[in-house]
Structure 1
């Protein structure tokens, strides 16, 4: 995610660089400018919210680093500079929309973000004719360049993730699978999971069973949710498709090893 945000700012800086370079030939003595980026992030919680996981806490440092890298090591033509202003969304769509409008009033040059939601914000950016480059949102609707002509992303939409999963299964001719996924309300896996479940049957891949766990699992610290899910499905399943954080899979792998499912003749 940090690398994605660095890439976002670098790409936008390259566009500014090309634009200013194009105009520099006829305006060699034009005064330098500072282009302000509007950074939409969820790094804080509202007073009555004790559960929002604040992904911006682990991402925002990359914004400062990226702007410093551009200004110090990849200078724009004519001595132009970048800076950014932070707009906190608290992970709430209505606040994110409001902050999008406020940033426009403050005369920013581009949006970086938003995080959890992006459809209405991206539509506003299109109306304002301001670039919006998201490093987090995966909503597939914003891939429509007719309605969202100024929107770009560094994280693939849900539909692309489901296509990748489908391609792997078809490549190895795995036509029957059981699907496990993280269903925590604090994560963004549920929408992706729904897309996967809809997509697989269209490619003649049967989903034998679907199970989910309700909270992000930390191996050896939480009760292992995979124990019951595996017990209910392993006799009819050869291929498991699992959607969640990479570290959660330790619980599944441990239980599968204990049951001897990696042996040629499992118990």
Structure 2
């Protein structure tokens, strides 16, 4: 089971039980295992990455709860042996001295990468604010009074419709459900605004296009890009980001 040779084998050999490989996250590598043709990463191995170590020691656990939509799958007896062998024989115990057992879980490699990206985003936004640029999500201020989070999907900005629950003109526009990792980013932004969790702690949120919101407001209404930490005049953010940092 030489991981370095796994990528050089034929497709048939590549998917045999016991074969594994390496996924790169930044400058670090984490092993993945195969289930037939699909790749999976052990959560415990992913958590050993520097991004997760520093974030789990720094950020409030509520941020991690925005990732609860990931399907964490139990491992089999065979995979227990495989993960222990990888850790012992190929990683010099890098992933801890405790043996893997049936309580450990794996996630699809696509979710592992999105998880890594999301936690890195949250860490950088909490520590650097608007100095850390990302198009994934942010806030719009409306006349410097109302602050609304948005996510970007297909180059369009989407905002939660519950922010405009009393405005029937806006809510007549087309709605789109926000799920998965888009929802994680939106939940993070809602948390920063101090919104009660019952408004956004669900499997999806309905959202509307920011363009439709802007067209429904009177001429002269100011829509301005901002980031929560950088809004100095809003009492809403007086404690930001202390709640999200571990005491």
Q: Provide the TM-score with structure 2 as the length reference.
A: 0.30
Q: Provide the TM-score with structure 1 as the length reference.
A: 0.29
Greater fraction strand: 2
